[in-house]
Structure formats: structure tokens, C-alpha cells
Chains A and B, each alone.
Chain A
Amino acid sequence: MTLNQQRKFKTLIIGFFSWLVACLLFFPIFWMFITSFKTELQAISIPPTLFFEPTLDNFSIVQERSDYLKHAMNSVVTSFGATIIALIIGVPAAYSMAFSPTKRTKDILLWMLSTKMLPAVGVLVPIYILFRDNGLLDSRIGLVIIFTLMNLPIIIWMLFSYFKDLPKEILEAARMDGATPWDEMMKVVLPLSIGGISSTGLLSIVLCWNEAFWSLNLTASEAAPLTAMIASYSSPEGLFWAKLSAASTLACAPIVIFGWFCQKQLVQGLTFGAVK
């Protein structure tokens, strides 16, 4: 086998496994999508049916039973709201730690990351009581606060690693030209790391959109996002897979379309940086 043939073979193998992994990851979504067009009986039939007469009944049932737009609006407001606030806090925090580190910076970063290791249910009761006492239960503001806090560690970590990759000489040059720390951040660091900030923001939006634990525990009728809508279709006594799949398809659609348009930035941002 010549070197060229070896290279081609390697590419073929890598391509095959990439497609295999992609298909494995995509299969549950594909199955959910086709199940949403089945009747409840077809959805549970064994062996599973691949060819069937599709029906839109499940979508009309979901539309009739749930206020989809209200849930979707709650998801949009809480995901984007929490991401914007987290970026407003996270960018200066990561900037200061990346460009003016102290001997405790590493400890602070590790401590922030350690908060992600605590199971959320461990702090459910204190947070629930705090929310109750401050009138934040079942409110969008409450969810925005909890989503912001939930995503801050990961946002700061990601931004920190992007900022660390920027050459210090550029900042020194800016200082030589009389730039203040504010100018440095706004006119030098941010324009240079806009790709990283965008991908961090996108990741945060996706994490907020998919969040279910706090959404289910801290909301009821007013602020419940799409994840709560999906959960409402699970039934202890009765067939529900087709309707649940329709609700999930509707809930996934906006973020999938959004991700489709932004995938270039997302991949670029996630693969950019020294620690990747």
C-alpha cells in the first residue's frame, strides 16, 4: 500500500467512524421526530414500525392542551436573559483573572468550578425557601437568576481560557498608546475574542434551554419553560409516547434551528483556545 493509499484509507476509516458516531447521536432525535407522527398504538408497537401513515394529531393535541407560545417565550426570555447577565458579569471577571492574576486566582477558579460538582438537589430546599421568601417562585426573574448562577462558573472558565490566549504584547501596546483598562477591555480584548464570547454565549443559551431540574421545581403556571411543558406529557396511567414526542419535537425545534445557523461560530469557538 502506497503512502497515498494509506492516507486515503485512514481518511475513509475516520470518516466512517465520524458518521457512525454522528448517526448514533442523531438516532434518538430522529426516532423522537418520527414517533411524533405516529398514533399511540404505533408508537408502542413491537417490533417498532418504520413505515406508517403519518398523522398530525399529536401536534394538534399539544397545541390544544398546552400554551406552546407562552412556554416558548419563557424559554427564550430566561435563556437569553440569563446568558446576557452571565456574560456581563463573566467578561470582567474572566478579564481581571486573565490579565491581573493574583496568587489566589487559581484557587478562585477551582472553587467556582467546584460549585458545579454539587448535586443541584442538595441545595433545593434552601433555594426554594429563599425564592419563596423573596416572591421569586414561578417568576421569570427567579429563573433568570438561577440560570445565571448555574452557568457563571462555566462561562468564566471558558472566557478565562480565551483571554489567556491573547498575546499580552497587544495589551502592552495599547497601554503605550494611552489606553485605560476600560479601553483595553472594550477596544482590544472584546473585539479580539468575539468568537469565543459568542460560542460561550451560545453554549450558555443551550444549557439554559435544556435545563429541567430548577425549571420543574421553581415554576408552576406562569414562568414554566418548554422543559416543563415536555414533562407534563408523561403519564403514570395511559399511553403517552407519541404526544410526548410531539411536545419534545416542538420544544427542540427553535434551539435546533438556532444552533443550525450558529454552528459555524459554535464549532469555531469551542475548538479555539489553548486549553482545547
Chain B
Amino acid sequence: MVNYIIRRLLLVPVMLWGVTILIFGMFSFLSPVERSALYVRDIPRNERVLEGIITRYGLDQPIYIQYWKWLVGHKNEVTGEVEGGILRGEFGYSRTASQPVAELIRRRFPATLELALLAVIPVVGGGVLLGVVAAVNHNKLADHLARIFAIVGWSFPDFVFGLLVLMFFYARLEWFPPGRVSDWANRAIMSEEFRSYTQLVTLDSLLNLRLDIFWDAVRHMILPVITLAYLWWALNLRVTRSSMLEVLRQDYITTARAKGLVERLVINRHALPNGLMPVVTLGGGTVIGLLGGVVIVETVFNYPGIGSAAAAAAVNLDVLTILAFTLMNGFILVVANVIVDILYAVIDPRVRLD
């Protein structure tokens, strides 16, 4: 067990290194001139300026030296200070957001985190619940409906779904508005009396005992959360259903039934713990889904998180911002996958042995 965990953890630095290589590889598709242009905020007056930047940042040097400088930064010969270096958290300046990329991520991250945290429970819970219901009612109406939902749901792009729910619940019914909070709530949050403990509006408003702001924030989040969740219901449903079906066919379930246990106990005590084991492996997929989903969902619902910032940056070819976002995604996913693997080894003894 410990052996397995150590082996798995040792792979993490290798993966993170690979992630930076891949990102830098994408970066080097651009010619030195195009890359030097990323460092200027205004249109340069003459070509000598760009040449100066190319030599100053060493953009004409061998690729491995450039990679190293990009990774850890380089010394400014005039001031003697170390500049740049993504490991130092310096991703450069975001043209679309008119602020350093690190600052942009720091400001926008809480909103995305809040959305993702609220979405995790419906994403996993909804799919698992549907899957268990489908498996227990195998080949009955509920099962057929669930299977149809799984196929149709999987074919339904999240941005189309998002536009449709906006059309019905906002444009027609005016129940749930887009954005993060209403204007009045935003003014209240910005005011002196409101203290931001966590930057998560739902939590902060509860801590400030402002139930009206809490309700307003929740109303804004319902549609994005549903849009993030339903696609993964389809996938999680499938995995849970087939895993539950497999467990329900096992001999020990027949034994449990034969000794006269109530069906509810057979399902809850005997089948569920084993049937839900593969669901843990969906954790990695869920993180992928959330990281990819926020780009679309935040854009559709005009929600001010990193996802919408990244989409805006991509449209405007703001390479530094979008690379920082992708790098962050890669790091999050590598770490999430390790956690999932270790968790799975803890739950399922068969994994540790190989």
C-alpha cells in the first residue's frame, strides 16, 4: 500500500515537468518576433524595439535555454532583479484583462471555485443516484428512461443546453438571471460593512448574516450548476449502472437474498459499497468536466470566473493568459488524478497488489 502510494507520488513531478514541456512546446509555435510582441503593451515605434526585446529576453537563444528561462525567470542585467519565470508565479501581462495574469487568476479564481464546489455534489450525486435506480430496476421503465437519457444527454452540447435553459428560465420565466450576483447585491458586497472572509459569495453572505444576498447568489448559480452537471449525469449514470448490475449478479447477493434479507438492505448494505467503488475513478473525469465546463458555462451565463476570462483571452489571441490558464488546468488535473488513484487503492485492496 505504502509502496504503491510512493510509486504514484514519484510520478507526479515527472508529470508536472511534462506538462510544462508541452505548454512551452505550444508556446514555441510562435516565432521570436510574435513572442516578443507579447511583452510589449503598446504598438512599438520601430522594429529595433522588437529586436531589443528579442535579445533582452533571449528569444533567439537555443530552445532549452529559453525553456529554462521561461521556467525559472532570468536576471535583468540593468537592475539585477530576477524577472519572469512561471515557477515564481509570473505569467506575464494579460492584454485582455489589462493586469498581470497572476493577478487576474487570483481575482477570478474564487468565483470559479465557488461554482465548481457547488456543482460537485449534483454532478456526482445525480449521476450515481440515477445509475443505482436504473440498475435496481433493471430492464424496467426507469432503466430504459435512464438509458435514453444517458445517450441523449451525452449528445447534448453544454452550450446549447445552457442557451436553452437561459431561454426558458430567464428570457421566458425570468426566474434565474445570469451573472454572479445582482447589481444591488454587488453594491452591498463592495460596501464597507460587508466583510469578505473567503471570497465565496454564498459563504460570505451567510457569515455576514445577509440572507437576501445569499439567496440572490444561489439564484444566479442554479442554471450554471445544472448546465455543468447534467452532461456528467449521463456518464456517471452509465458507469454506476453497469457496475451495480455486475455486483447484483454476484453470488453473495443471492446468498443475502436467500437468507431472507429485505431487498432494501440487500441493496444498501451489500450491493452499494462494492457497486460504488468504480465511481471513485470518475473523480478524475469529474475534474476534467468541471475545468472544461466552466469555460463554456461561464461564457454562456456571463459569470465572472477564470473560465470566461480564458475564453475571452483565447478569442483575442492573448497567448500569455491562456497558457497560464492551461498550465493551471494541467497542474490541477495531475494532482486530482493522484488523489483519485490513492483513494481507489485505499478502498479497493485489489489495486494495491499489482
Are A and B bound to each other? no
B-to-A contact residues, CB < 8 Å: none
A-to-B contact residues, CB < 8 Å: none
